[in-house]
Amino acid sequence: MTTDEPDHQPRGASAAFRQDLGGEWQLAPSVSEAWRFRRLHAETGQEVGAFARTAWIPARVPGSVHADLLRAGLIRDPNEGLASLEAEWVSARQWVYRRTFRVELPASARLHLCFGGSDYGGDVFLNGALLGTLAGPHTPVRFDISGLDRGAEHLLAVLLREPPPEAGQLGRTSETRTLKPRYGYWWDFATRLIHIGLWQDVILEADAGTAVLDLFARADLDADLRRATVRVDVDLGGDTTVPVTVSLIHPDGRQDETRTTTRSATFELQDPEVWWPAGLGAQPLYRVRASVPGGASIERCLGIRTARLVHNAASLERGARPYTLEINGKALYARGFNMVPVDMIPGRDGVAERERALAEYALAAHANLLRFNGVAPIASDTMLDACDELGLLVWQEMPLTSSGTDNVPPTSPEFLANLDRDLPALVRRLRNHPSVVLLGAGNELTDERRRPADEAHPTIRRIQDHITALDGTRPFLPTSPSGPEYDLSVDAATGRPEDLHDVHGPWHYRGAHDSYRPHVLSRALAHSEFGCQAASRETTLRRYLTDGSPWPMDDTNPQVVHHGEWWLMRHRITEVFGPVDDLGTYVLLTQAAQGDVLRHALGWNRSRRDECSLALIWQLGEPWPNAHNTSLIDYDLKPKLAYYRCREANAPVALHLGLPGPVGKGHLTAAPQVLADTTGSGELTLTLHSLTGMTLQHETRSMIWPAAGQPLNVTLPEEPALLRAELLGEDGVLLARAEHWVARDQPQPFAALVGMPRTRLTLEQRGSRLVVRNAGVHVAPWVSLESPSDVLEDFSDSGFNLLPGEEHEVGVTLRGPEVGVLAVPLTVRALNATPLDLLWETP
């Protein structure tokens, strides 16, 4: 018997009643029903004959077919060169997973075979007999196998059918059939690699007649944060009259316990430990456990906090939705990133570690909100756990997304049936995580005229109804952008500024004018997605563009096109910097341009904090090594220079110079402003330096904040110049720093930087800090640091500029298997300096 019961997850289940059937399995492909003809589901051996015997492939469960084929050497790594094209056949097959097992659990009244989810669906056979059908990738399924012989060995086989024929990025949302995430069907940040696999847990569970299937714990917190009521609802399967023991485990290990026959329990807390977002307080986590006699327990986390969207004065005045997140009664300015998966192959080794690393990079860049876009799967348990622990708020959209041709939510009976089947399990997976504070129906959903859709659309309303019924504790947005304007464009900003509520874009680098102007003009209440592209690190490019040279980085190079055809920018770099003929220089210039645009956008949004509630960069990481992409951290987890500029702009105290852009007609008008989370005062120094380091302009002014910036005229010399701003507190301590390259508005305004005479850098390790010195007579632009590909790096700064004779200390933190055992080579380069290596000894 098959029952699609509430979210059955083995996390926290009692080991005595649970047997993990994950680990080593066998895998074989099948064209149509060749598996049935060969009886792969029913027989463990095949006789020699005219038909070749099946060559079984070692497999891992949970896992992915692509990962198993890669480990077996049967496909090239799809990350390399054009190899993903060679792997597209994988999703055009059915796949048979199988293993044998014996029941190792004690005798019990019932036994269930439980699947956490399969991608995409399939049939389950036990000892050759059809047991039942698996649903989509999100939906857990339980099979009652209570009569199974406890003394025999059993053959378990799972037949996964071909994935459904969904569209890639340029298709029709209205024709979407399923909730299978569509990024693998080809997207601007991902190749076409349609995932298939038994990618969630497979377990046996024994019980005495009743099973705890799930629990939902939520806290009602008083406005003064001094009292909380924790309510726990328990989902049971079987005899629901059995008493349930519910335990509340405090962060310090203390435990409250109650027994109930009503499937619900309540705990009253005085002076609870309140969960806060990063930067506002600590992240204490309670645990809630439910158990019944003779069965496995289920445990979930609980963070005691409130979350809602509230109006600011601007959204209220415009009649817009509220966009300001309020946590525990405190409104915050939300800043952070849009998130996509860390890998196209969920079963690849090290995915969980990469997810944790990316969350830590987000935190280090002062993020407090991450948006998980509807083009991808919902955030993994690993990522959600990390966000709970680190205080990163999560905006999670359901896996429904735009398509380009149309973005209209589907209404077909087939889609709605899949929605009703699959969505509840997604909501159950999310609802116990305190980090999840905002839910959405999907990404960039619109009507036929490309106006953002809302709750009046029946499919969006249906999604909202599911979320309300199963959760109802979090604010909901129908989609993002939520309109009435879709894009941040110059036309909208100048003609319809009051209609800029929640907007997306722009995303492309368009030179020294058009990349900057929309952000200056913007009156958006929420800027939930915008970006700018750059090339990956040179070492990353050489590691993955293996079917020839990575140069030239334009559409004459098939590899460069294959790894990011939407994001080519060599023509734009030529427009701004003049001709560039080598890969290293090109990479550095693209990353410098990306960083400058994104810092500019973040600064202008944050300077309108009373009007704009949030600003989220598209995107933090990438699931596949792109040649060009809008990611801030490339596939090898190497931060681009833009990561450091975004960290600078989002810091608790940041400088926004209020520049309209990097070029002007003889002068630029700045309006320096301190962007800070708290009030303060200090002294601001601005200096303008020539390419030889000569001081061309020097200004000092007292600053208080918050306060609007006051105009300051910057006279532009004939050649590009470095504008540097430094903010000192009342105690003389450096609070913030910002550097901008500026130039006269002319063709190729920054070409002189590329043609600068060479300078020379020197390196010295002083404990945990690296001292970089410019020993030449010309400025060293964009000094950048890099560690080897297998080392996670955290530098206090990168992409800075050094005047002649100047030195800069950079904090260095490295993590990796050889860090602390062997010296790690660090590479330091600048636009006009030969790269230098230094062997870094862990202090």
The confidence band for 8, taking pLDDT boundaries of 50, 70 and 90, is very low
Q: Taking 90 as the threshold, does the pLDDT of residue 515 lie above it?
A: yes
Which residues sit opposite 836 in a β-bridge?
828
The three-point CA angle 523-526-530 to 5° equals 90
Q: How far apart are CA 485 and CA 335, in angstroms?
A: 21
Task: Catalogue the long-range contacts made by 566-574 (C-beta closer than 8 Å, 24 or more residues apart).
Answer: 566/188, 567/188, 567/508, 567/533, 567/626, 567/627, 567/628, 567/629, 567/630, 568/628, 569/508, 569/509, 569/533, 569/534, 569/535, 569/593, 569/628, 572/509, 572/510, 572/511, 574/748
The string of DSSP letters for 63-78 reads --HHHHHHHTTSS--T
The string of DSSP letters for 625-677 reads --SEES-SB-TTS-B-HHHHHHHHHHSSEEEE---S-SEESSEEEE--EEEES
Query: CATH 2.60.40.10: does it fit domain 655-754?
Result: yes
Average pLDDT, the chain: 95
Q: What is the dihedral of CA 203, 301, 621, 369, to 10 degrees?
A: 150
Averaged pLDDT, 253-263 = 95
Q: How far apart are CA 568 and CA 794, in angstroms?
A: 28
**What would the pLDDT profile of 213-250 be if each residue is shown by its tens digit?**
999 999 999 999 999 999 999 999 988 899 999 999 99
The confidence band for 53, taking pLDDT boundaries of 50, 70 and 90, is confident
What residue ranges do the domains of the chain occupy? 2-206, 209-294+297-302, 655-754, 761-840
Q: What is the dihedral of CA 442, 448, 452, 454, to 10 degrees?
A: -70
Q: How far apart are CA 760 and CA 834, in angstroms?
A: 7
pLDDT at position 728 is 98
DSSP-assigned letter for residue 169: S
**3-state SS track over 121-134:** CEEEEECCEEEEEE
Local structure of 103: helix, strand or coil:
coil
Which residues sit opposite 94 in a β-bridge?
30
Q: Taking 90 as the threshold, does the pLDDT of residue 817 lie above it?
A: no
**What would the pLDDT profile of 624-653 be if each residue is shown by its tens digit?**
999 999 999 999 999 999 999 999 999 999
Structure tokens belonging to residue 749? 């305004």
End-to-end Cα spacing for the chain: 61
Equal fold, 209-294+297-302 vs 761-840: yes
Q: How far apart are CA 476 and CA 499, in angstroms?
A: 20
pLDDT at position 52 is 77
Is residue 376 within 8 A of residue 340, CB to CB? The reply is yes
Reported as type and span, the H/E element at residue 590 is helix 583-607
Averaged pLDDT, 714-724 = 97
Q: Taking 60 as the threshold, does the pLDDT of residue 7 lie above it?
A: no
pLDDT at position 247 is 97
Q: Taking 70 as the threshold, does the pLDDT of residue 555 lie above it?
A: yes
Q: Taking 70 as the threshold, does the pLDDT of residue 813 lie above it?
A: yes
Q: Taking 70 as the threshold, does the pLDDT of residue 3 lie above it?
A: no
Tokens 């991450």 map to which residue? 370
Under the phi-then-psi rule, with left for phi > 0, alpha for psi from -120 to 50, and beta for the rest, what region is 116? alpha
Q: How far apart are CA 842 and CA 812, in angstroms?
A: 9
The confidence band for 562, taking pLDDT boundaries of 50, 70 and 90, is very high
The three-point CA angle 748-749-752 to 5° equals 90
Query: What superfamily would CATH give domain 2-206?
Result: Galactose-binding domain-like (2.60.120.260)
Is residue 629 within 8 A of residue 567, CB to CB? The reply is yes
Q: What CATH fold (topology level) applies to the domain 761-840?
A: Immunoglobulin-like (2.60.40)
Query: CATH 2.60.40.10: does it fit domain 209-294+297-302?
Result: yes
Summarize the chain as % helix, strand, coil (round to 5): 20, 35, 45
The confidence band for 326, taking pLDDT boundaries of 50, 70 and 90, is very high
The confidence band for 15, taking pLDDT boundaries of 50, 70 and 90, is confident
Structure tokens belonging to residue 361? 């990079």
DSSP-assigned letter for residue 498: G
Q: Taking 60 as the threshold, does the pLDDT of residue 133 lie above it?
A: yes
Which residues sit opposite 25 in a β-bridge?
59
Q: Taking 50 as the threshold, does the pLDDT of residue 4 lie above it?
A: no
Reported as type and span, the H/E element at residue 405 is strand 404-406
Distances (CA, A) of 480 to 312, 323, 528: 19, 11, 7
pLDDT at position 14 is 62
**What would the pLDDT profile of 590-599 be if each residue is shown by its tens digit?**
999 999 999 9
The three-point CA angle 330-332-334 to 5° equals 150
DSSP-assigned letter for residue 471: T
pLDDT at position 184 is 96
